[in-house]
Structure 1
Amino acid sequence: MHKLSTSFGLLVLIALVSLSCTSTAQTIDVELVPAFPNLTIPLPTDIQNAGDGSNRLFVCEKTGLLHVFPNDPNVSETTLFLDLRGQIATQSEMGLLGLAFHPNYKENGFFYLNYNVQRGNKFYTIISRFSVDSEDPNKADINSEVIMMEIEQPFQNHDGGQIAFGPEDGYLYIALGDGGSGGDPLNSGQDLRSPLGKILRIDVDNPDDENGKNYSIPETNPFATNSEYVQEIYAWGLRNPWRFSFDQPTGRLWAADVGQDKWEEVNIIEKGGNYGWRVTEGWHCYDPNNNCDSIGLIGPVWEYSHSVGQSITGGYVYRGSNVPALTGMYIYGDYGSRRIWALDYKSEADVTNSSIVNTPFAIYTFGVDENNELYVGGLNSKIHKFVDPSGNVEGKELNTGATLHPAVPNPASSRVIIPYDLDGSMQVSITIFNSIGEEISQLVNQKEERGEHQVEFDTTDIPGGVYYVQLTTEKGQVTRKLTVEH
Structure 2
Amino acid sequence: MYLLVSAVGLYSNSFGQQPTKQVAAQSGIASAYSTDKQVLAKGQQLFQQNCTACHNFLQKGIGPNLAGVTSEVTPEWLKSFIRNAPQKIEQKDARAVRLFAEYKQYMPTFSQLSDSDTDALVAFLHAKRQRTPNVGDDKKLGVALTDPIPARIQQSGLRLHLTEVTTAPASAEKVPLARINKMQVLPGKPDRLFLEDLRGTLYEMVGDSLRVFMSFPSERPAFIHSPGHATGFGSYAFHPDFHTNGLFYTTHTEKPNTAPADFAYADSIKVSLQWVLTEWKLTDPAAKTFSGSGRELMRTNMVTTIHGVQEITFNPLAKAGSPDYGLLYIGVGDGGATENGYYFLCKDCNRVWGKVLRIDPKGTNSKNGRYGIPAQNPYAGANSQKGLPEVFCGGFRNPNRIAWTPDGKMLISDIGQAQSEELNVGVAGADYGWPEREGTFVINHRGRMDQVYALPKNDADFKYTYPVVQYDHDEGNAISSGFVYTGTAIPALTGKYIFGDIVNGRVYYVDSKQLQPGKQTPIQEFTVQVGGQNSTFQQLTNSKKTDLRFGVGLNNEFYLYTKADGKIYKVTDCSIDKSPISKQ
Global fold match (TM > 0.5) = yes
Residue deviations 1:14-60, cap 9 Å, x none?
Answer: 24xxxxxxx43xx5331122233586671112111211233332111
Equivalent pair of 1:52/1:105 in contact (CA under 8 Å): no
User: Secondary structure of 1:106's partner?
Assistant: helix
Q: CA RMSD in A?
A: 2.8
Deviates more, 1:189-198 or 1:231-240: 189-198
Residue deviations 1:189-225, cap 9 Å, x none?
Answer: 321111010111011233328x542221111111112
Other-structure match for 1:456:
none
Counterpart-to-counterpart distance in 2, 1:378 and 1:98: 17
List alignment gaps of at least 5 residues for structure 2.
1-143, 172-177, 258-270, 319-323, 445-451, 529-535
Other-structure match for 2:560:
376
1:388 aligns with 2:523: no
Equivalent pair of 2:168/2:180 in contact (CA under 8 Å): no
Tell me how far 1:91 sits from its aligned partner.
2.7
Counterpart-to-counterpart distance in 2, 1:212 and 1:274: 26
User: Secondary structure of 2:307's partner?
Assistant: coil
Residue deviations 1:392-435, cap 9 Å, x none?
Answer: xxxxxxx6x9xxxxxxxxxxxxxxxxxxxxxxxxxxxxxxxxxx
1:315 aligns with 2:482: yes
One-letter amino acid matched to 1:373: E
Using structure 1 for the length normalisation, give the TM-score: 0.71
Counterpart-to-counterpart distance in 1, 2:286 and 2:371: 27
User: Secondary structure of 1:199's partner?
Assistant: strand
One-letter amino acid matched to 2:164: P
Q: Classify 1:48/1:347 alpha carbon distance in 2 versus 1 (closer, same or farther; 3 Å).
A: closer
Other-structure match for 1:344:
511
Using structure 2 for the length normalisation, give the TM-score: 0.60
Other-structure match for 1:97:
234
User: Higher RCO, 1 or 2 (CA under 8 Å, sep at least 6)?
Assistant: 1
Counterpart-to-counterpart distance in 1, 2:329 and 2:453: 35
Counterpart-to-counterpart distance in 2, 1:90 and 1:37: 21
One-letter amino acid matched to 2:361: V
One-letter amino acid matched to 2:413: A
Counterpart-to-counterpart distance in 2, 1:111 and 1:212: 20
Q: Of 510, 528, 550, which aligns to 1:366?
A: 550
User: Secondary structure of 1:140's partner?
Assistant: coil
User: Secondary structure of 2:349's partner?
Assistant: coil
Task: Give aligned pairs, total.
Answer: 377
Other-structure match for 1:424:
none
Residue deviations 1:136-157, cap 9 Å, x none?
Answer: 6122235x11111111112111
Of Structure 1 and Structure 2, the greater strand share is in 1
Equivalent pair of 1:263/1:303 in contact (CA under 8 Å): yes
What are the residue-to-residue correspondences of 1:63-462 with 2, within 5 Å? 63-70=199-206, 72-73=207-208, 75=209, 77-84=210-217, 86-92=221-227, 93=229, 94-120=231-257, 122-134=272-284, 137-142=287-292, 144-166=293-315, 167-168=317-318, 169-170=324-325, 171-180=327-336, 183=339, 185-187=341-343, 188-208=345-365, 211-225=367-381, 226-228=383-385, 229-247=387-405, 249-287=406-444, 288=452, 294-295=459-460, 296-345=463-512, 346-348=514-516, 351-356=521-526, 357=528, 358-359=536-537, 360-361=540-541, 362-379=546-563, 380-388=565-573
1:10 aligns with 2:149: yes
One-letter amino acid matched to 1:299: Y
Q: Classify 1:277/1:135 alpha carbon distance in 2 versus 1 (closer, same or farther; 3 Å).
A: closer
Deviates more, 1:329-338 or 1:27-36: 27-36
Of Structure 1 and Structure 2, the greater helix share is in 2
Residue deviations 1:285-340, cap 9 Å, x none?
Answer: 11347966643111111111111101111111111223221211111111111111
Deviates more, 1:373-382 or 1:116-125: 116-125
One-letter amino acid matched to 1:355: E
Q: Percent identity?
A: 26
Counterpart-to-counterpart distance in 2, 1:182 and 1:334: 23
User: Secondary structure of 1:78's partner?
Assistant: strand
Tell me how far 1:232 sits from its aligned partner.
0.7
